[in-house]
Structure 1
Amino acid sequence: MRFWLVSQQLALLIIIITTNALNNNETDHAALLAMKSKILDPFGGEALSSWNESFHFCNWEGVMCSKRHKRVTLIDLSSLSLSGTLSPHVGNLTFLRQLLLINNTFHGEIPNEIGDLYMLEVLALERNSFQGRIPVSLSRCYNLKHLLIGFNNLVGTIPEEFSSLSMLKRIYIHVNVLTGGIPKSVGNITSLEVFSAGANHFGGTIPNNLGQLKNLVELGLGGNQISGMIPSSLYNLSNLNILSLPMNDLNGSLPPYFGNMFPHLEWLQLHYNNFTGQLPNSIGNLTKAMRLAFERNNFSGKLTVDFSKLVNLVRLTLHFNNFGSGDFDEMHFLESLTNCSDLGVLGTDNNQFRGVLPDFVGNLSSNMRFFTLGENQLQGRIPPTIGNLVNLSILDLESNHFTGPIPSTIGKLQKLQRFFLSGNQLSGAIPESIGNLSLVNELYLSYNNLEGTIPFSIGNCQRLISLLLEQNNLSGTIPKELFQVSSLSILLNLSHNRLSGSLPLEIGDLKSLVVLDISNNNDLSGEIPSSISSCTSLQFLFLQGNMLQGSIPKTMEFLRGLQILDLSRNNLSGQIPAFLEKLSLINLNLSFNDFNGELPSQGVFANSSAVSVYGNNRLCGGIPSLELPRCPTKKLNRNFFSSKRIFVIVASILGILILFSSLVFYLWKRNRRERQSTTLELLPKESFVQVSYDELFKATDGFSSSNLIGAGSFGFVYKGVLDQIGDVAIKVLNLVNRGATKSFMAECKVLKNMRHRNLIKIITCCSSIDFQGKEFKALVYELMLNGNLEKWLHPYQVTSRLELNLLHRLRVAIDVASALDYLHYQCETQVIHCDLKPSNILLDQQMVAHVGDFGLARLYNPDMGISHHSSSMGVIGTVGYAAPGKLVVNLTNPVYFVGLIYFPFNYNSDVYSYGILLLEMLTGKRPTDLMFAGGLNIRNFAGQILTGNAIEIVIDPTILKSDIVIDQRDGCLIALVKIGLACSEELPQNRMSMTDVVRELQLIKETMF
């Protein structure tokens, strides 16, 4: 009887356990279905197609269960392009140990219910768009070992309660918007091995009790506005492999024993801070170091560190400090670096180093690719042994006091891409061996005492994009071989030399050149070659201070992009051609020549502050403010009004009227057939803020050329100060130009209600008729102090070279992509920018990018088409950036085609332009560069790095100077090129969405920085 009762009780217990297990299984099943209901799959549910009743949930994609109880222990949905939110029902998965959602676009808050997962060991939500605060409830997950929530949009503080997580090993919270300082409680998580909190807004100081984290191997606090000194307790973290504190406001000096405290340190990043004092000699004891970054601080004194024991050193950056003592032997530290056989980057420019460059510089690593010594006070000769560094791609020796000749051994550096010697006291001739630098992009030899002729061999430098030889004593004729270097696309400056002879006809081969300066050579003579008309990319042409003669060639009317033309102080004669009125000139100097006849009065000639004609005593007419004498009145030709002429004129007028009437009638009929189409209507005048012409005139100091910051097809942009607003940019439209009014209305309408940190902010649209009874229109924007991206990518002045490193460019790419993502998907009506290019990307004081110039923008409704109707053939946007195809007149739905296939014009057009922009930022080459001919374009040029080791050939040399480990840098560049290519696919349906672009770029940034 007793046995029977025991058996019955046991059976009942088994039934209860089984029932509970079944119930718990059903709980997990329900929780997973609840999660699925909140997840959005852009590929039609393909990623979660197995999450259905046909399979047991333990067999669903990305789900793992325990073998015994069939409870969910792991969910891995990483990198599936999923979006949506994380359901609170996730808290019901009580056996869950790992939740991995890395690299998706989940948004919303991290649910508090996640704190119910008491068995959770890994929470990986990196590279998403989660918002809100870090849940305090996570502190109840006592088994948590890895918390990976970096690269989201989380706000608030790190919860103090995390100090109770005694098993926590890794905290990745970098690249969020966290504030409130690094809490002291982090120092109580003694199990911690990695604390990565860079790129937030913490502020405050580094807590002293972080020194309690004896197991810490990685500490990353960069880019957080942290101030104060490094606490002495941190020097007790002897297990550190990585100490990364860059881009903060840290100060003080490094203690003498610094290098003795970190025997395992591989990466030390202290750049972009305010450290002072001498670099401790103990740095030489960091024997495991691979990467040492000290640049952009205030370190000073003699550099006496012995680097010879740092045999693993790959990168050492010391630039932009105050190193130097005045001792003649202070470059002796270079000798210890000759033992670092893997050293690839050595940056020592912009310091106070003196003395000579020793001969043993040639014994530095043969792997050296970047060597910068510019902006110091070095003297003596450049040692010929420098030719031993045969793998150099960048050599910067400019702005020192080097004397003597350029060593001919320079010709051995056949991988050199950027070579800077400007601003020294070098003499002698430019060596013929310069022609061996077949890969050189930028060659700067200006401001020296070089003499002799320009060597013919320079014609072998067929990748040259900028050449600066100004302010030397060069003589003889300009070799035609120089003008046959068709790759020259940024700047050719031969000014202030003693060159003679005439300009070769081959000048027309420079079809991609933007700036040509051959001024002040005195002995240059002959006429301006008519072949100059082929230089269709020219924006700045300086020929002043020579002995040129003859007239201005009529062919120059084809230089439609010309902005500044200076022909002053020559012997030019004849009439000033009227076609100059039609060019986009913002400054024209024709003074001190022998021009005669009537001066034109339109275009640039209508602005006395933009044109100069002094010293031409036979000129007349022009606008009154130029104070030229009146031109003599011409006698009327009586034969002009002959009956035959009258008949021809009347017939012509009637013909034109008939054609015009027919066109109007045709367009009227087409417009009547429009259905459900929207138009970009003119804004009512009462919506404009009334700012008078006088106010704008005062704000810009009379539209002074000194305040002119830009010019475009529809008008000019000035910087100014309005009393009621402050510093602004003012675009004044020239209403004579066709399309100016439509551009004005488009920009006002699109930007009126747009609010995004990466869009240009329009302050007011001004329309008035109080200027001499005539209407004028102006747009007032916030002023962008760092100008546009064009001038950073393609600077035409080198007195203060503008440089964007890889991180800068990546940030700009993310900013622009975020703006387009907003315009395409987050606005009530989609907006298509239609003219994305570097000159329309503006940079503020913090180098944050803002998309501007919406004069060609379209409002787009997927069901109704575009709200702007074109009545002319042509490509929407700018050549090189506009998506392939041709705009076809269709008043109901403009389309463009590729080959024989037509595609609707939509936001994919912006994606294409973005892809080209990204490739331009990486290669440093415009899509219209002359090198892109015969089937080569910027896409297949950039794509070379995907098929071989072509990074040094393809990528902008400025990027290659970036302070990043080479393998990581190259991986980043390859990933960015892939995005650029994916965005600029020929077929629109193959292009990425801007949402995916933003996510991928954020992933790259988080991985690299």
Structure 2
Amino acid sequence: MINAPFLFLSCFLFRHFHAISCNTNTDRDALFSFKSQVSDPTNSLSSWSLHSNHCTWKGVTCSKLGNRVQSLILPGLSLSGKLPPHLSNLTYLHSLDLSNNSFHGQIPKDLAHLSLLNVIQLSSNNLSGTLPPQLGHLHRLQVLDFSVNNLTGQIPPSFANLSSLENLSLATNGLEGEIPSELGNLRNLSFLQISANNFSGQFPTSIFNISSLVFLSVTKNNLEGKLPQNFGHFLPNLKNLHLASNRFEGIIPNSISNASHLQYIDLAHNKFHGSIPPFNNLKNLTHLILGNNFLSSTTSLNFQFFYSLRNSTQLQILMINDNHLAGDLPSSVANLSGNLQQFCVANNFLTGALHDLQKLVIYSNRLSGEIPDFFGNLTNLYTLGMGNNQFSGRIHRSIGQCKRLTILDLGMNRLGGTIPKEIFQLSGLTSLYLAGNSLQGSLPPKVGTMKQLETMDISDNQLSENIPMEIEHCFSLKWLMMARNKFNGSIPTNIGNLASLETLDLSSNSLTGPIPESLEKLEYIQKLNLSFNHLEGEVPMEGLFTNLTKFDLRGNNQLCSLSKENAQNLGVLLCVAGKNKRKIVLPTILAVVGAIALFISMVFLFWTMKKKRKERKTSLSSAPFRGLPQNIKYGDIRIATDNFAAENLIGKGGFGSVYKGVFNFSNGETATLAVKVLDLQQSKASKSFNVECEALKNIRHRNLVKVITSCSSLDYNGEEFKALVMQFMPNGNLDVNIHPEDEESGSFLTLMQRLSIAIDVASAVDYLHHDCNPPIVHCDLKPANVLLDENMTAHVADFGLAKFLSQNASEKRSSTLGLEGSIGYIAPEYGFGGKASTEGDVYSFGILMLEMFTGKRPTDKMFKEGLSLSKFVSAMDENEVLMFVDGRLIDDHEYSTQSSNTDDHGSGFESKTYWTLKAEECIADVIIVGLCCTADQPKERWSIREASSKLRAIRHSMLTS
């Protein structure tokens, strides 16, 4: 006889497992429906096959009993499409993570049926619409992250029912209205991030009663209200408090010190007033940012405030700028944390108390604004380091009162005006760094009085006129850098009297005349760079000029050498033998040649009026290819490219195609070159060809593509044919290197490679903007137009859209109303008919940089409805940006450096931490450069010279760490 209870249990288990089996098929069908409605460009869901168990599919995790889907984790796979409502059939789902993809449309309200959900991660997509109030029924939900989307509307009050919620992230959306006070009921909430929305009204004080809060960020909204007087008593676990860029008012309560775990306080850009409270108990504090409020003080209150920070030994950033602080700045500021990196008290009414200061070093930060006129109080100062910041305005003449100054570093800022002559009255100065600014005017003759000066770097400015002869009296000089300015005239004749010189860099100026023979006697010189000037005459033959590795004379077309071998090695002309003979014979030869040329020109002009030419070739010389024939015909190109075979096609552009060609010349030379063949069926192709020829025929720079020749003739069918023959770049263009089709087998550009490439591109554009006459605007900067040679050195190519800027202010420049650039890289003002400008190139360069270091194209689907790559990045804080970049940039830098530097920085683990931080710091600094180049208003953008200087400083910091 069968036992009745046993029979009942057997029936129950049969039904239960039968239900599980049936529901397993439901899970499988729901997943397959999801795949069918989702675009998968990288084929990431290739393992989702009907012939395999769905629990083995990528991103899917199942329960051990019954194979029910418990988690669907598919972040960062470039998936797109709408979120299918079928997801609600995964009734056992605990975790859903589809973050960092390109999903669009609304959030399915049917997700509320998944009562077991613990985690919903949908951040960094293109989701729109409102937040479904039905999600408030998910009582087990612990993480809800919809940040960085396009959501609108209000936060539903029903979210207050999410009693288990620990993380609520809604930052960087378009949410609006008031924040529900009911959120204060979320007693388990530890992370609340709702920054960068359009919230308004009173901030609910009930949120300050959530004792479990660790992170609170509501920056960049329109919120109002006051901080409760006792709020610090109720937040014992709070570590991060971000309330900046709102409309908070009232006083900052003293109770803030009771939140003793606070590490980061940012209350900047609000309406707080009254005195700054003491911060006695905040031993873990690293950032205290109170700038741009209405805070006030007196001498005694200043003493209390700075004294209260004595225990904050981890403090790195202290910003109390742009307030109404008054009274003396106490000498106790010298006792602030030894880890302090940024200290800003600018734009207040503080006085006194720094008379004994001897060393002020605040370089390599992000300090901005004008440098206060406080030098008169720093009479004992001997070291002033303010370089590599964003200071603007003029250098105050009062700096001449710092009579004991030996080191002055104001380089890599945005300073303008002239160099105060008072600087050159500091007789004890040994090091002067003013490079990378926008200083104008001349170098005063007073420089000759600086007998102790060992280093002077004034490169990358806009200094002009002659180099003063008095510089010959700076007998202690070892390093003299004056490159990339507008100096003209000749090099001082007796500059070789500076016997201690090790480096002399006068490159990229407008210097004329001969190279002084006195340079031959410099015994300690290691680097002499006179490139890209207008020097002429014979190159000296003795001393340092016998070692080709120590000097650079490129870009001086009138230099010559008496040695045929040297002339070939240096890329200069061969002089007529003997100086005296040259002086007599050369003018005669030139006169005869000129007369003959004039006669031939007249005959040629008459002949062309009788008969049209059918074939014309324009040669564009390039020093590294002097050995190659300049007359390349259509037939030569056809043979070299194997009749323009598809396997030799290496790229396609807006006006034509680029082929790889192997040329076998009659002189025995063999060369692999690139050939850009114009598609003349396009109406503007011929104009593009002419513009590119005109732009390239007179410019030459190491980071510009080198053009061998052009060909303009007829093909074998009698059709017009135009092509440019250029240096071949074996590593392709930048676009295919940062967006390889195959991530696994494609080469990976390291952090330092990307940084060097960015500097190469900046150098090329800097040359076009500042060293060409007239200046040239490229108008189509993008990764596809940056080519990489065998050494991964970058070369800017494709000048088909280039514009020449008139230096005559009264002459109209061409409008860009019909400008054909590349979508995503075109400066916003061009869309409104703005004129072609250097600022437009800077914008394109900034977008290119952001793309290089984030890995996101500006045309990505996620950037729409007014959201651009630049705006997207600027809306993030530093930590969010680092999460957004390719993690391999950091990992690769760490791996390649830690083994060789372990001895310098401790154990392997410590080394890893150190180099990770260095890489993250580098990326953050580079992103800032990119953002400064992509400001909406052209006048707010950096110049390309500023960007180049900053990037070089970043690389220098990385290489010397």
Specify the TM-score bucket, using the shorter chain as the normaliser: 0.5 to 0.7
Matches within 5 A, 1:226-305: 226-303=199-276, 305=277
Residue 98 of structure 2 corresponds to residue 101 of structure 1: no
Deviation at 1:106, TM superposition (A): 1.1
Structure ranking higher on relative contact order (CA contacts 8 Å, 6+ apart):
1
Matches within 5 A, 1:378-397: 378-384=350-356, 387=359
Residue 348 of structure 2 corresponds to residue 309 of structure 1: no
Q: CA separation in 1, counterparts of 2:816 and 2:59?
A: 48
Distance 1:17 1:249, change over 3 A: closer
Q: CA separation in 2, counterparts of 1:940 and 1:11?
A: 62
TM-score (norm 1): 0.52
Distance 1:735 1:331, change over 3 A: closer
Q: Is the contact made by 2:117 and 2:140 (CA closer than 8 Å) also made in structure 1?
A: yes
Q: Which residue of 2 aligns with 1:146?
A: 119
Deviations 1:770-812 (A, max 9, x none): xxxxxxxxx934999987648999xxxxxxxxxxxxxx99978
Matches within 5 A, 1:459-538: 459=431, 465=436, 477=448, 479=450, 484-485=455-456, 488-491=458-461, 501=470, 513-515=483-485, 535-537=506-508
Q: CA separation in 1, counterparts of 2:222 and 2:916?
A: 26
* RMSD, matched Cα: 6.6
Distance 1:360 1:505, change over 3 A: closer
Q: CA separation in 2, counterparts of 1:810 and 1:950?
A: 34
Q: Which residue of 2 aligns with 1:342?
A: 314
Deviation at 1:35, TM superposition (A): 5.8
Deviation at 1:478, TM superposition (A): 5.8
Deviation at 1:207, TM superposition (A): 2.0
Q: CA separation in 1, counterparts of 2:217 and 2:127?
A: 22
Q: Which residue of 1 aligns with 2:291?
A: 319
Residue 59 of structure 2 corresponds to residue 66 of structure 1: no
Q: Is the contact made by 2:359 and 2:382 (CA closer than 8 Å) also made in structure 1?
A: yes
Matches within 5 A, 1:620-635: none
Deviation at 1:123, TM superposition (A): 1.1
User: Any gaps of 5 or more consecutive residues in structure 2?
Assistant: 513-528, 536-555, 558-587, 619-630, 647-655, 658-677, 688-767, 779-800, 808-812, 876-884, 906-912, 929-961
Residue 186 of structure 2 corresponds to residue 177 of structure 1: no
Q: Is the contact made by 2:265 and 2:287 (CA closer than 8 Å) also made in structure 1?
A: yes
Q: Secondary structure at the match of 2:125?
A: coil
Q: CA separation in 1, counterparts of 2:377 and 2:493?
A: 37
Deviation at 1:244, TM superposition (A): 0.5
Distance 1:819 1:418, change over 3 A: closer
Q: CA separation in 2, counterparts of 1:41 and 1:845?
A: 26
Q: Which residue of 2 aligns with 1:872?
A: none
Q: CA separation in 2, counterparts of 1:116 and 1:263?
A: 41
Deviation at 1:177, TM superposition (A): 0.7
Q: Which residue of 1 aligns with 2:858?
A: 819
Deviation at 1:10, TM superposition (A): 10
Residue 335 of structure 2 corresponds to residue 363 of structure 1: yes
Amino acid across the alignment from 2:174: H
Deviation at 1:333, TM superposition (A): 0.9
Q: Which residue of 1 aligns with 2:161?
A: 188
Amino acid across the alignment from 1:198: A
Deviations 1:187-232 (A, max 9, x none): 2323322211111111222222222222222211110022223123
Q: Is the contact made by 2:893 and 2:915 (CA closer than 8 Å) also made in structure 1?
A: no
Distance 1:979 1:404, change over 3 A: closer
Q: Secondary structure at the match of 2:256?
A: helix
Q: CA separation in 1, counterparts of 2:194 and 2:870?
A: 25
Residue 157 of structure 2 corresponds to residue 160 of structure 1: no
Q: Is the contact made by 2:38 and 2:80 (CA closer than 8 Å) also made in structure 1?
A: no
Q: Is the contact made by 1:404 and 1:425 (CA closer than 8 Å) also made in structure 2?
A: no
Deviation at 1:150, TM superposition (A): 1.0
Q: Is the contact made by 1:427 and 1:451 (CA closer than 8 Å) also made in structure 2?
A: yes
Q: Is the contact made by 1:786 and 1:844 (CA closer than 8 Å) also made in structure 2?
A: no
Deviations 1:125-182 (A, max 9, x none): 1111111111010111112121111111111110111122222222111111111122
Q: Which residue of 2 aligns with 1:780?
A: 833
User: Any gaps of 5 or more consecutive residues in structure 1?
Assistant: 72-94, 519-524, 542-554, 562-581, 584-638, 689-708, 719-730, 738-742, 765-778, 794-807, 827-841, 850-917, 924-938, 953-964, 981-1009
Pairing partner for 1:110 from 83, 89, 102: 83
Q: CA separation in 2, counterparts of 1:950 and 1:380?
A: 45
Q: Is the contact made by 1:946 and 1:974 (CA closer than 8 Å) also made in structure 2?
A: no
Q: Is the contact made by 1:469 and 1:494 (CA closer than 8 Å) also made in structure 2?
A: yes
Q: Secondary structure at the match of 2:111?
A: helix
Distance 1:323 1:205, change over 3 A: same
Deviation at 1:290, TM superposition (A): 0.6
Q: Is the contact made by 1:259 and 1:283 (CA closer than 8 Å) also made in structure 2?
A: yes
Q: CA separation in 2, counterparts of 1:138 and 1:433?
A: 68
TM-score (norm 2): 0.55
Paired residues, number? 671
Amino acid across the alignment from 1:203: E
Matches within 5 A, 1:974-993: none
Q: Secondary structure at the match of 1:362?
A: helix
Q: Which residue of 2 aligns with 1:636?
A: none
Matches within 5 A, 1:731-750: 733-734=803-804, 750=820
Pairing partner for 1:134 from 103, 107, 120: 107
Q: CA separation in 2, counterparts of 1:540 and 1:234?
A: 67
Distance 1:534 1:655, change over 3 A: farther
Q: CA separation in 2, counterparts of 1:18 and 1:942?
A: 51
Q: Is the contact made by 1:444 and 1:469 (CA closer than 8 Å) also made in structure 2?
A: no
Q: CA separation in 1, counterparts of 2:390 and 2:927?
A: 30
Q: Which residue of 1 aligns with 2:745?
A: none
Deviation at 1:101, TM superposition (A): 1.1
Distance 1:972 1:480, change over 3 A: same
Q: CA separation in 2, counterparts of 1:405 and 1:199?
A: 45
Deviations 1:12-54 (A, max 9, x none): 9998887776665555556666666777877777x8569685x
Distance 1:732 1:367, change over 3 A: closer
Q: CA separation in 1, counterparts of 2:636 and 2:343?
A: 65
Q: CA separation in 1, counterparts of 2:441 and 2:596?
A: 60
Distance 1:196 1:951, change over 3 A: farther
Amino acid across the alignment from 2:448: T
Matches within 5 A, 1:358-437: 358-384=330-356, 387=359, 398-399=371-372, 401=374, 403-408=376-381, 410=383, 423=396, 428-434=401-407
Q: Is the contact made by 2:382 and 2:404 (CA closer than 8 Å) also made in structure 1?
A: no
Matches within 5 A, 1:637-652: none
Deviation at 1:341, TM superposition (A): 1.3
Q: Secondary structure at the match of 1:378?
A: strand
Pairing partner for 2:187 from 214, 231, 246: 214
Q: CA separation in 1, counterparts of 2:774 and 2:593?
A: 41
Amino acid across the alignment from 1:190: S
Deviation at 1:560, TM superposition (A): 8.7
Q: Secondary structure at the match of 1:276?
A: strand
Q: Which residue of 2 aligns with 1:572?
A: none
Deviations 1:290-319 (A, max 9, x none): 11012222333332x111111111111122
Distance 1:270 1:788, change over 3 A: farther
Residue 302 of structure 2 corresponds to residue 330 of structure 1: yes
